[in-house]
């Protein structure tokens, strides 16, 4: 059976032996540096804990990026604002570099106002339905008359009966996981983010749904966040950290000034002499104050006599 003719691409890729010898004779390495060894099998982002950079080593530095990420969550995403302390805990446990946090900030900042409603609906639809539990055994109870149809139809539906799992911290956690997956070659499972980073507060299913909603809202265009955008986000986080330091310093200065201002008052209270208790009354007689009434001159004359 004859082999099919070679295509143009295969003919172009074929190299003659003479040309190959000339290539090896004139070969110049691209660099004098040795080729780095391949990554070891089994080494992943989960197994090797990362320490944050020097700029993020201080706890107050993590407070700035956490507050900046909290401000970028859409205002209509939830009825409350994100917890800065919870986001700070995520950053401390994950040990992410500034570039990943900056990309997460860009992702949150690019979300549209239509994202919140679609996200809440997707989370509600993906909530697991509770398994059918066995009916409890009947207990002897007094028989009560059935409720009237009017009362049954007019009974209002409590708003808290249907609880949504759309929490603002979940959106920040999903943005951090999405930025890590985009910039890092290591594959980090959502189970790791759910169990270790959020400490079991959120499930991997919720993170997956949130990431899908974020990508749909961004039209899967993460490539549009250039390095310049990430640098601007990093500068915003630096400014937030600086504001937090200034606010903390001002609070400490005010506390010290209050203590210093209270010390003279306390010292003056301690140094003030105790008040004298003057229960009696002095009398002046012949220019001399005596604690008791002075005897009359006539009485003295009679005493001398």
The confidence score (pLDDT) of residue 102 equals 95
With a CB cutoff of 8 Å and minimum separation 6, the contacts of 187 are 44, 45, 181
Low-confidence ranges of the chain (pLDDT < 50): 6-13, 15, 41-57, 59, 131-163
pLDDT digits (tens, 9 = 90+) for 77-88: 888 999 999 999
Q: Identify the pLDDT of residue 222.
A: 92
Token pair belonging to 69: 């990420």
At residue 255, the pLDDT reads 74
The three-state DSSP-derived secondary structure of 98-135 is: HHHHHHHHHHHHCCCCCHHHHHHHHHHHCCCCCCCCCC
Contacts for 113 with CB less than 8 Å, ≥ 6 apart: 74, 76
Length of the chain (residues): 305
Phi/psi at 288 (5° precision) = -125, 130
- pTM, rounded to two decimals: 0.58
* Token code pair at residue 133: 């539990």
In contact, 110 and 124? CB cutoff 8 Å: no
Token pair of 200, please?
Answer: 């079991």
Alpha-carbon distance 117 to 114, whole Å?
Answer: 6
pLDDT of residue 251: 78
- The predicted pLDDT at position 268 comes to 61
Residues 173-190: pLDDT tens digits? 999 999 999 998 777 899
Task: Enumerate domains of the chain plus CATH numbers.
Answer: 54-127+165-240 (1.10.472)
Q: What is the reported pLDDT for 266? A: 59
What the block records as the tokens of 279 is 């229960």
Say what percent of the chain tops pLDDT 90.
Answer: 39
* pLDDT tens digit sequence for 42-85: 444 444 444 444 344 454 578 889 999 999 999 998 889 999 99
């Amino acid at each position: 059976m004859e082999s099919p003719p070679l295509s143009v691409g295969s003919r172009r890729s074929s190299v003659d032996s003479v040309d190959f010898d000339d290539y090896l004779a004139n070969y110049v390495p691209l660099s004098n540096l040795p080729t780095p060894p391949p990554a070891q099998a089994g080494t992943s982002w989960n197994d090797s804990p990362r320490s944050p950079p020097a700029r993020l080593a201080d706890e107050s530095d993590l407070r700035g990026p956490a507050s900046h990420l909290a401000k970028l969550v859409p205002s209509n995403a939830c009825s409350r604002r994100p917890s800065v302390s919870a986001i700070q805990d995520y950053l401390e446990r994950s040990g992410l570099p500034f570039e990943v946090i900056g990309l997460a900030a860009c992702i949150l900042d690019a979300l549209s106002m239509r994202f919140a409603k679609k996200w809440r609906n997707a989370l509600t639809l993906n909530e697991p339905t509770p398994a059918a539990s066995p009916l409890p055994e009947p207990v002897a109870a007094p028989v009560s008359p059935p409720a009237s149809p009017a009362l049954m139809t007019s009974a209002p539906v409590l708003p808290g009966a249907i609880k949504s799992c759309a929490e603002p911290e979940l959106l920040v956690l999903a943005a951090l996981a999405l930025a890590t997956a985009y910039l890092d070659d290591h594959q980090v499972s959502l189970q790791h983010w759910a169990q270790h980073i959020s400490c079991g507060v959120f499930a991997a299913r919720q993170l997956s749904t949130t990431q899908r909603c974020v990508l749909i809202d961004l039209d899967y265009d993460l490539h549009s966040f250039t390095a310049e955008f990430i640098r601007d986000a990093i500068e915003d986080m630096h400014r937030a950290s600086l504001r937090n330091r200034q606010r903390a310093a001002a609070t400490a200065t005010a506390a010290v000034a209050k203590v210093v201002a209270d010390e003279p008052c306390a010292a003056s209270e301690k140094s003030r002499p105790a008040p004298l208790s003057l229960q009696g009354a002095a009398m002046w007689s012949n220019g001399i104050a005596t604690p008791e009434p002075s005897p009359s001159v006539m009485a003295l004359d009679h005493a001398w006599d």
